[in-house]
Structure formats: C-alpha cells, structure tokens
Amino acid sequence: MSIGTYILVSLVKIVLALLILLTAVAYTTLLERKVVAHIQNRWGPSRVGPFGIWQPLADGLKFIFKEDLTPPYVNKPLYMLAPIIALTTALTSIAVIPIGPWIRLGSVNTPLQITDINIGLLVILGVTSVGVYGVALAGWSSNSKYSMLGGLRASAQMISYEIALGLSLIGVLIYAGSFSLSDIVNSQAGVWFGFIPKWNIFKGQFVAFFIYIMAAYAETNRIPFDLPEAETELVAGYHTEYSSMKFAMFFMAEYANMVTVACLASILFLGGWSGPVFGPPIVQSLLPVFWFAVRVFAFMFIYIWVRGTLPRFRYDQLMAFGWKFLLPLAIANIVVTAFVVAVK
C-alpha cells in the first residue's frame, strides 16, 4: 500500500487504540471501586447513573475543575514534566500489543495492532523503563519529604523487580524464537491430546508465569507491593504534592500500565487470542479479539481481587523477596528451560 494510506491507517488505529485504552482505564477504576466495595461488604459507587456507570465521567469532570496547586518551592519544569512523562510512556507501551490476527477491511490488509515490528517485546520493556523517570522526577521535584521518600522507594522497587520481570521472559523467548508479539502468539497455536492448548504456561513456563505476575504487580506499584504510595506511612508517596488533573494523570498511568501488563501476560503465557472460532465470517474475525479481551479482563479482575485480599509488605521484605527469591528462581527457570529445550 502507498505511504499515504499507511500513515492514514496508522493514525486511525492510534486514535482508536487511545480511545479504547483511556475508556478501559476509566472503567477499571469503576470496576476496582465496585469489586473492592463488594469484597468489603459495601455497595461502592451507585448514585451516578444505574450501578454508578457514569462515575468515571463524573470523576474526570471533577478533576478538571479542581484547583491545580503548584507550590512555590517545587522545581517547576520537572514538576510539570513528571506526570506527562508517566502518562506518555504508559500510553505508548500499548503501541505494539496485538489484540488479534491480521484482518481485511475492503482493500486494506492490516494487523490488529498499531504496528507489527520484530522487536515488539523490547520496545515495551524499554518504554515502560522510561516510566521510572516520571515517578523519580515527581518525587524529587516536589521538594517535600514524603514525596522524596516515595520517589526513592518507587525507583528502587521498580528497578529491582525489572530484573526478575526481564528474566522471566527468557523462557518464553527460547520457545518462541522471536521478539515479535504476534510470532509469540503464533508459536503457541495447536493442542495436545485434542484438548490441552499449547500455551507457554502449559509448556513448563508456569514458574516464569508466577514470577512475571509478581514482578508486574511490583512494577505497577499495586498491592501487595504498593510501598511507594503506602498511605499509612507516606501520606501519598511521590504524588503527595500533586493536585487536580496532574494527580489524576499518575493514576491514569498506573491503570494504563496495568492494562499493558495484563495484555502482555495473556500474549506471553496464555496463548494471546487463541480460542474456539465459529459462526459467520464477521463473527469469526471478531471472536479472537473477544477471547483476548476475556483474558485481559480476567487479569484485571485478579489485580483487584488481590488488592481486596492481601495486606502490604514491609519494605525490607519487599527487597528481600525480589533479590533473594524471585531473582534466583528466575535464573533457575532459565537454566532448566534451556536444558529441556536442548535435550528435545
């Protein structure tokens, strides 16, 4: 196809992806409040529309019209830049995630992702690593003790668990032989004995799967690893001095990162969009997207379920868990996987 069509198709996909992602982010907040409320035997938001379904819109409007305080003692350029970096990187990391196989629309044949590149996984890891800057800069530029401590804690925690996260992916890469996320999904096609799908989690990567999930919870600063914003000791951590929409942007970034992590977990370990496909052609082309969405929703639900269930770690326990347990376990997983694949 010509360059003009290519750019146009890309732009349409980018706008669609951003709309879907931001809607998902908004409604994850509602889902979280509802589920946590029911876990704690409350009702959760129920006044704005039926079952509170307009609550995210009301929250967004409220955030926009709140006073945005920029305290005089902050480092102003970095203070402004930090939430922008956090949100930009969180949104950009969704760019290479495929939500389905190639589809045909009229004369245009296109993958169901922004772009299919052969180092997709590396791009995601790289872009999410830059997100640490948003948190660290927010903590430092605020010039407040709680922000500083929260920023330091968050940076140390995120870089510690990034190692376990990266090492847990090696096993999957050995099986798939490619960084391209659609190749990784395709390498998990087929079934054993007619009913066990050949997903990586069933190929012996279940240890890696659990390392990935735990490291990802720590990367996104979620309970039980939410030390950077532990409200009982640090007020709000690195965003103590932020207000209004800048405060909301850190939360949007956190939830967008959760969506990315859930998508990656589905793609790397649970076979991506594979699932039974049947019915008329239009249903056949949409069913893979549906199966993918089901997996992502399940992961988001587990995120919230964990939040409603587990207490918070202590900081030394958190560091010991990452460095003394997850890291050696991930290295052992690599060695075992390498020998198993080599013997085959």
Partner 1 sequence: MPQNYVPIFIFALVAFLVAAGTVALCALVRPKNPFKTKLMPYECGITPFDNARGRYTVRFYIVAILFVVFDVETIFLFPWAVQFKLLGLFGLLEMMIFLGILIVGYIWIWKKGALEWV
Subset of residues 76 to 115 that bind partner 1, contact rule: CB under 8 A: 80, 83-84, 87-88, 91-92, 95-96, 114-115
Structure tokens given for 147: 């922000």
- Residue 122 binds partner 1, judged by CB under 8 A: yes
Q: Binders of partner 1: how many residues, by CB under 8 A?
A: 82
- Residue 17 binds partner 1, judged by CB under 8 A: yes
With CA atoms as reference, report the closest residue to 136 among 47, 221, 26: 221
Subset of residues 246 to 305 that bind partner 1, contact rule: CB under 8 A: 246, 249
The DSSP secondary structure of 278-332, one letter per residue, reads -SSHHHHHHHHHHHHHHHHHHHHHHHHHHHHH--PPPHHHHHHIIIIIIHHHHHH
DSSP 50: G
Contact predicate 172/268, CB 8 Å? yes
Cross-strand pairs, 191: 197
The structure tokens 């430092």 sit at: 140
- Which range binds partner 1 by CB under 8 A, 35-43, 197-205, 213-221, 242-250? 242-250
Per CB under 8 A, the list member of 11, 57, 283, 294 interacting with partner 1 is: 11
Residue 264 CB coordination number (10 Å): 24
Per CB under 8 A, the list member of 6, 102, 290, 305 interacting with partner 1 is: 6
With CA atoms as reference, report the closest residue to 91 among 23, 31, 150, 139: 23
Subset of residues 181 to 240 that bind partner 1, contact rule: CB under 8 A: 235, 240
- Residue 10 binds partner 1, judged by CB under 8 A: yes
The structure tokens 């239009």 sit at: 282
Nearer to partner 1, 37 or 170 (CB): 170
Nearer to partner 1, 143 or 285 (CB): 143
Subset of residues 40 to 79 that bind partner 1, contact rule: CB under 8 A: 63-69, 71-73
Subset of residues 131 to 190 that bind partner 1, contact rule: CB under 8 A: 140, 142-149, 152, 155-156, 159-160, 162-163, 166-167, 170-171, 173-174, 177-179
